[in-house]
Structure 1
C-alpha cells in the first residue's frame, strides 16, 4: 500500500520514458484498418458519436459561434481520451492536474469573453447588470456579476480536477483494501472486489460526463457572447 495516496498522480516511467506516452499509442489501434478506414466499425461509431456531440454543442449557437465547432470538438476528444487513458494501469491522467485543466479553461474562457467584447460590447456589459434591477443595488450587483464572470475558469478547472482526482482516490483505496483482504478474509475481499468493478464502470461514466460538461459549459459561455 502506498504511503501517500497522491503518489498515484505522479507519472510513472519505464526506462525514463513516461508511460502516459505509451498509453497514447493505444488509441490508433482502435482505428487501424488494412483496407479502408471508412469501413472500420470503430471509426464509423466514432464519427457518429462526434456528429451527435457536435450537434448538441452547436445547436444553440449563432453562426459566429458555430465557427468554434472544430475547436470544441477537439477539446472534448482531448479531455475524454485523457480521462479514459488515466484509468488504465501504470498510466497518468493529465486531467487530474489543476495546472493542466486551468491551462485549458482560462484561455478558452478568455476567448469567449473577448469575442463578446469585440462583437457585441453593449450586450456583454449589459450582462453585468440583470434587467429590471433597482439602481440602488446596481453597484453591488455589478460587483457580484463581475466576480461570477471571473470565477468561471476557476470553476471549470477545479470541477474537472476534483471529479477525476476523487474517482482515482476511491479506486486506489478500494483496490488496496481488496489486496489486503484477499489472503485473510476471502468473503469480504469478494465484496470489495465487486465494489471495485462497479466503481470502475462508474468512473468510466464520470470520465465521459466530465469531458462533456467541460465542453458544454464553454459552449454556453460562447452562446452568451455571440
Structure 2
C-alpha cells in the first residue's frame, strides 16, 4: 500500500547499484538536439559574415553578372582593411603606407587581368582603346591616351592607397610632436583633435580599402 501519494516523485530510479539515473531525464534533451544547435557563431564571426555578404552583393552589382567568384575581391578588401586598421595602433608597422607593398598588390592583379583579356578576347580589348563615337581623325590619338591610361592603372591604385595612409599618419605624428611644447589648455584641445583625427583615419582606412577593391573589380569587368 502506498504510504504517501507523492512518494512516486522521489528520485530512486537506478540502472545499476552504483549508477543513479535520477537526473538523467533532465539531460536527455541535450542529446536529442541537432548538432547545428551547438555551432553558434561568435559576434565577431557574425560581423565578418555580414561584412562578406555585403561585399559579395556589392561586387556582383559592379560586375553586373551572376557569378559567385567574388572571393578574391573580398579577400583583397579584408587584407587591406586589416593592415590599415593595424597601422593605427602604436608601434605597429603600417605596410600599406609603403609603395612597395601597394604595388605588390596592384601590379599582379592588373597584369593577370590584362593577360587574360588580351589572350582570351583580343578584339574586345581593342574596342576599349577607342571610345564609342570617336571621330576618325582622333582615333590614333585616343588609342595612345587610352593605352597610357591603362598602363598607369596599377601605379595610380598603389599611389592612391599609399598617399592617403601616409597623409593621415604624418598629420597625427606632427600634432603629437608638439604636445610637450604647449600649455595645458592647448593640450586638452590637442587631445580632442587627435581623437577626432583618429576617428577620421579609421574612416579613411575603410574607404581606401573599398576604393581599391571597387577599382580592381571595375577593371576586371572590362575583361570578358
- Output the TM-score relative to the length of structure 1: 0.78
Q: Which among 39, 45, 48 is matched to residue 47 of structure 2?
A: 45
1:66–1:179 Cα change, 3 Å: farther
Q: Residue 178 of structure 2: SS of its match in structure 1?
A: helix
Look up the match of 1:175. 176
Partner Cα separation in structure 2 for residue 119 and residue 215 of structure 1 = 23
**Cα deviation, residue 220, structure 1:** 0.3
Name structure 2 gaps, 5 residues minimum: 1-37
User: Equivalences for 1:139-154 in 2 at 5 Å?
Assistant: 139-154=140-155
Indicate which of 202, 212, 215 corresponds to 1:214. Answer: 212
Residue 57 of structure 2 corresponds to 55
8 A Cα contact 1:76 1:212, kept in partner: yes
Partners of 2:39 and 2:80 lie apart in 1 by 24
For residues 101 and 126 of structure 2, the distance between their equivalents in structure 1, rounded to whole angstroms, comes to: 30
Aligned equivalent of 2:201 = 203
CA distance in 2, matches of 1:160, 1:65: 28
CA RMSD of aligned residues (A): 1.8
**Structure 1 residue 200, shift from structure 2 partner:** 0.2
User: Structure 1 residues 109-118 or 93-102, which shifts more?
Assistant: 109-118
TM-superposed CA distance for 1:62, in Å, is 5.5
Contact 2:60 2:66 (8 Å CA) reproduced: no
- The answer to whether the Cα contact below 8 Å between 1:65 and 1:222 also exists between their aligned partners in 2 is no
Residue 225 (1) aligns with residue 192 (2): no
Distance across 2 between alignment mates of 1:212 and 1:38: 29
**Counterparts of 2:163 and 2:110, CA distance in 1:** 19
What does residue 15 of structure 1 align with? Answer: none
Q: Secondary structure of 1:132's partner?
A: coil
| Structure number with bigger Rg | 2
Paired residues, number: 188
- Residues 58 and 219 of structure 1 are in contact (CA less than 8 Å); yes or no, is this contact kept in structure 2? no
Quote how far apart the aligned CAs of 1:118 are: 2.8
Aligned-partner SS, 1:59:
helix
Change (3 A) 1:225 1:65: farther
Secondary structure at 1:39 match in 2: coil
Question: Deviation of residue 52 (structure 1)?
Answer: 0.3
Q: Aligned residue for 1:192? A: 190
Please name the residue that 1:94 is paired with: 95
Deviation per CA, 1:123-179, whole angstroms, max 9, x where unpaired?
111110111111111111110010000010000000000000001001111111223
CA distance in 2, matches of 1:162, 1:216: 18
Contact 1:85 1:93 in 2 (8 A): yes
Moved more, 204-213 or 58-67: 58-67
Structure 1 unpaired stretches of 5+: 1-35
If the length of structure 2 is used for normalisation, what is the TM-score?
A: 0.79
